[in-house]
Amino acid sequence: MLNHHSPTTVPKVIDIPRELAASQEKFNGEAGRAFIASLPDLTAGFLDRWELAPDGPPMHGVSALVLPVLRRDGTPAVLKLQILDEESEGEPVALRAWDGDGAVRLLDHDAPTGTMLLERLDETRMLSHVPDPHQAVTTTAELLAHLTSFPAPPGMRHLGDIARAMLDQTPWALDRIPDPEARRVVADCAAAVREVVDEPGDRLLHWDLHDENVLASDRAPWLAIDPKPLAGDPGFELWPALDNRYDPDDILWRFDAMTDILALDRPRARAWTLGRLLQNALWDIEDDRPLDDAQLEIARRLRKTRSGMI
């Protein structure tokens, strides 16, 4: 999601959004503070190197600064600056593989910093603005069906490694869940992952295709942005659309619609979706947060879809 407000002015270069500085401080500590401090010089350097002119106020998500720019020939684009980590380092690799087919087009990339020049989409027209949640789910599923038809490039981080690490962490996490029913839900999620962990898949996954990461464009009705890619089973992609505009009574309709559109085996897709809920629970426990009630309810409803447990 891109936001446009509360800047901290850096003269003659950019306005650094206060919310971005705060989120970098929260999630990345000293490295985040250093990244924020480096942004004025980093931005100025890439404006010069790639012959770009600023073309509007900066936008931001949780971790990246996105600056609207014009290229030397007047073509609109955006400059995206972010901390390089295991999630962001795969982004240009995935965007090159998709090459604008269902996703934003990568125009240039600096490997040492992770800085990217991207085509400019219409940030005022997000899929989250579509009034009908069923239409939004269908659109997300159609995009995912196309994006996951691509094999993952070599070297992409792998769902199998992530899943095995989650299972290794599960006993520690279960000991820290005081409520017996919630503990059973998380344990069942882990049990579902154990059933599929040896066949984690090899498709190119976006991983974070929620309805604010789908934007309209003049060249295509909808395009995906901001992937956190990995190689794996497309069933691991379904959770954001189950969670967007959360409605517990709509969970099973959404799950069935998405698995139909992606032509997925439902038991496997269910197992990998429960794996995504396990991942969210582990993060909550690591950060000493209570488990999210909506996440637990999604898991409960999916567990009941085939005569009880998977």
> Annotated catalytic sites, by residue?
208
**Where in the chain does DSSP place strands (E)?**
7-10, 14-17, 53-54, 59-60, 64-70, 76-82, 106-110, 115-119, 122-126, 203-205, 214-216, 223-224, 230-232
Q: Could you give the CA distance from residue 183 to residue 287 in angstroms, rounded to a whole number?
A: 17
Using the structure block, give the residue that is written with the tokens 């269908």.
138
Return the structure tokens found at 131: 């009034």
User: Of 75, 156, 155, nearest to 117 (Cα)?
Assistant: 75
Query: What are the two backbone dihedrals, phi and then psi, of residue 123, each rounded to the nearest 5 degrees?
Result: -70, -10
Give the alpha-carbon dihedral of 226, 228, 233, 236, to 10 degrees. Answer: -80
Neighbours of 301 (CB within 10 A): 16
* Contact in structure between 241 and 272 (CB atoms under 8 Å): no
User: Of 305, 250, 249, 280, nearest to 182 (Cα)?
Assistant: 280
Q: Could you give the CA distance from residue 171 to residue 168 in angstroms, rounded to a whole number?
A: 7
Rg (CA), the chain: 20
* 126-to-105, 136, 209, 217 alpha-carbon distances in Å: 17, 10, 12, 10
Given CA atoms 146, 268, 231, 212 in this order, what sign does their dihedral have?
positive
User: Which is it for strands 223-224 and 64-70: parallel, antiparallel or unpaired?
Assistant: unpaired
